[in-house]
Amino acid sequence: MSSMQSIKRDGLRKFVDVCMLILLLCLMSFQVTGEEKHEWTGILMTLTVIVHQILNRRWYAALFKGKYNAYCSVTTAVNLLLLTSMLVTAFCGMSMSEYAVPFLYWVRGLIYVRPTHLAMSHWSFVLMGLHLGLHVPLMLGRMQDKTRTVLTAVGAVLGGIGLWLFFRNGMPNYLFFRVPFAFLDYEKAFWLVFLENALMLGTWVFLGAELAVLCMKRKRKPGRSQELQPWRASGAKRRSPNRHGDGTGGHSQRLRRQGADRLLLLGREHPRHRP
């Protein structure tokens, strides 16, 4: 694949990801969109998820390849749970449809459809936040330490506000099938509904990012350095930096650390990098 095609594919992936995020926030704002728009937004979300799976189909091909580490295990579990919850949410939602796909009306009579749709939609919300958060360290890998520290502090504050909103709005009740219906405030301004949903999602994004960092720290324990250094695992000889100190003859400490983080964030070492 040429570099231009790779850039276009990455751009398409990012566009689809942004669309999924916006659609998720819209789906969690039923009191703003109303029933009919909620159904069509759900159909569009389902199609977007399918496109997302097609664009990332290589991930499935690599499930049983390479060596798993802590980050990979957590990421794989979250991804599979997220996909399952979204599929169940879509099926139950279309089963109750009156506008988008009314031909599935025959399933509506099943007693478990409504509470399952309510619970799985909120689990999808939580797992989507964790899914996004697990990729945050990769996006921030090239930033300076001070910038990462400031962003972490801001994320902690916003995450705390989102966690308070999460419990105030009774989200745990929906997650654990404690209530069969959603209790929504239809008089709340639409911008406030979206803001609260974004803050609650941000809580799980922050927790997912911290979980990814913990997985990487666990990988850096003494005695595991061989798994962090591809040049050693592959049998290649390490070269020292040249006399200019620019690292062109080897790897500086910062570059080695970034390379190790990037290797961990890939989840599985390349077969050539196995010990």
pLDDT tens profile 95-130: 888 899 887 766 656 678 889 999 999 999 999 999
Which domain, by its residues, includes 193?
A: 64-223+254-267
Residue type (1 letter), 43: I
Band of the pLDDT at 52, cuts 50, 70, 90?
very high
Tell me what pLDDT residue 2 has.
67
Domain presence at residue 198: yes
Domain presence at residue 244: no
Residue type (1 letter), 16: V
Domain total of the chain: 1
Domain presence at residue 195: yes
Q: In whole numbers, what is the pLDDT of the chain averaged over residues?
A: 81
The answer to whether residue 223 scores a pLDDT higher than 80 is: no
Tell me what pLDDT residue 67 has.
85
Domain presence at residue 45: no
Domain presence at residue 99: yes
How far lies 109's CA from each of 106, 115, 182, in Å? 7, 12, 19
Q: Which of 97, 132, 118 is nearest to 210 (CA)?
A: 132
Domain presence at residue 120: yes
Read off the pLDDT of residues 71-100 as tens digits, 9 standing for 90 and up: 999 999 999 999 999 999 999 999 888 899
Domain presence at residue 26: no
